[in-house]
């Protein structure tokens, strides 16, 4: 079995992990979680999303959080940016880069972004151009690559075409997302193989959810295909407000145990990341309930 010698785990708890919670975790608690991630050795983290607070109330403090981001080298910060207005809000925040997102199906894109996938692509092109002009890197995430809660099976050709279009638009990295946790190892290998056949030099990241206990198996399939970057989330927090029944993300602490057991370096201290996961669970448990009727 040929596996990478080193893997990067991008922790997305502060963004994807918290976005679907029914509580608001205070900004200070989020900053403390970020510090815990840094102390554990996590090198990259997605810290917030510049969406309208009405749509994602748990991330309503994006501007305040961005203004208080600490200097934690060599840690790199990412933030999800849905449109040009969101990019403008990211302002002078010390972000290494941004994450853009669109869906592989029109039904999920309509639920998530109120437009078709191609309309999203047109809207994202100036966002990507602005980020590149500012010297920021761009992660282009594609949701529901492996299955959609509305349309079911997703044609692989559609995924590959979107990958090519995002690459042409200037993305530096593609994030293939198993948004509802339906992927299996053979499918993971097939999708990566088809994308690589068309875009052999494009860096790929896997974003895995763990609905049926397939998360680590899918990670192994990705590793065998040469993937060295994975989105994970402290405590397995995460979901999608626009994907009914979406499970939590693959937990950072579980993924790290899995990788280190196979001799794959991550630079993450297992005891420290487990402590950070406990801290994340405590922060969510102590969060302020969100009034969804407001």
Summarised one tens digit per residue, pLDDT across range 83-102 is 999 999 999 899 999 999 99
Confirm whether 12 is domain-assigned: yes
Confirm whether 141 is domain-assigned: yes
Summarised one tens digit per residue, pLDDT across range 153-182 is 999 999 999 999 999 999 999 999 999 999
What CATH number corresponds to the domain at position 134?
3.20.20.70
Confirm whether 218 is domain-assigned: yes
* 13 carries an active-site annotation: no
Count: domains in the chain = 1
Confirm whether 229 is domain-assigned: yes
Confirm whether 191 is domain-assigned: yes
Of the listed 148, 163, 177, 240, which one is catalytic? 240
First-to-last C-alpha distance (Å) of the chain:
54
pLDDT at 294 over 60: no
- Quote the CA–CA distance of 28 and 51 in Å, as a whole number: 20
- Quote the CA–CA distance of 70 and 36 in Å, as a whole number: 12
What pTM value is reported for the model?
0.96
Phi, psi of 223 (to 5 degrees): -60, -45
The predicted structure's pLDDT at residue 246: 57
Contact status, residue 133 vs residue 87, Cβ threshold 8 Å = no
Confirm whether 292 is domain-assigned: no
State the residue range of the domain holding 211.
8-287
The predicted structure's pLDDT at residue 212: 82
- Quote the CA–CA distance of 81 and 129 in Å, as a whole number: 13
Confirm whether 68 is domain-assigned: yes
pLDDT at 68 over 90: yes
- Quote the CA–CA distance of 277 and 178 in Å, as a whole number: 22
Could you tell me the pLDDT band of residue 20, with boundaries at 50, 70 and 90?
A: confident
Confirm whether 1 is domain-assigned: no
Summarised one tens digit per residue, pLDDT across range 110-139 is 998 899 999 999 999 999 999 999 999 999
């Amino acid at each position: 079995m040929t596996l990478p010698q080193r893997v990067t785990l991008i922790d997305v708890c502060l963004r994807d992990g918290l976005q679907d919670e029914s509580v608001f975790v205070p900004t200070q608690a989020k900053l403390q979680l970020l510090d815990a991630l840094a102390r554990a050795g996590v090198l990259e983290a997605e810290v917030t999303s510049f969406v309208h607070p009405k749509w994602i109330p748990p991330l309503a403090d994006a501007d305040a959080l961005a203004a208080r981001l600490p200097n934690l080298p060599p840690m790199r910060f990412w933030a999800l940016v849905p449109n040009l207005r969101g990019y403008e809000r990211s302002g002078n925040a010390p972000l290494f880069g941004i994450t853009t997102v669109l869906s592989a199906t029109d039904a999920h894109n309509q639920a998530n972004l109120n437009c078709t996938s191609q309309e999203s692509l047109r809207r994202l092109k100036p966002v990507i151009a602005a980020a590149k002009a500012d010297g920021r890197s761009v992660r282009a995430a594609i949701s529901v690559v492996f299955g959609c809660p509305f349309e079911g099976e997703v044609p692989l050709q559609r995924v590959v075409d979107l990958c090519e279009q995002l690459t042409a638009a200037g993305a530096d990295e593609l994030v293939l997302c198993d948004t509802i946790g339906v992927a299996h190892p053979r499918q993971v290998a097939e999708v990566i193989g088809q994308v690589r056949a068309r875009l052999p030099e494009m860096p790929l990241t896997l974003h895995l959810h763990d609905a049926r206990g397939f998360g680590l198996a899918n990670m192994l399939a990705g590793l065998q295909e040469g993937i060295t970057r994975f989105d994970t989330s402290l405590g397995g927090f995460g979901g999608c407000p626009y994907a009914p029944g979406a499970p939590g993300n693959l937990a950072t602490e579980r993924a790290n145990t899995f990788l280190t057991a196979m001799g794959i370096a991550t630079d993450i201290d297992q005891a420290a990341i487990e402590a950070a996961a406990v801290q994340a669970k405590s922060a969510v448990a102590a969060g302020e309930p969100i009034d969804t009727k407001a």
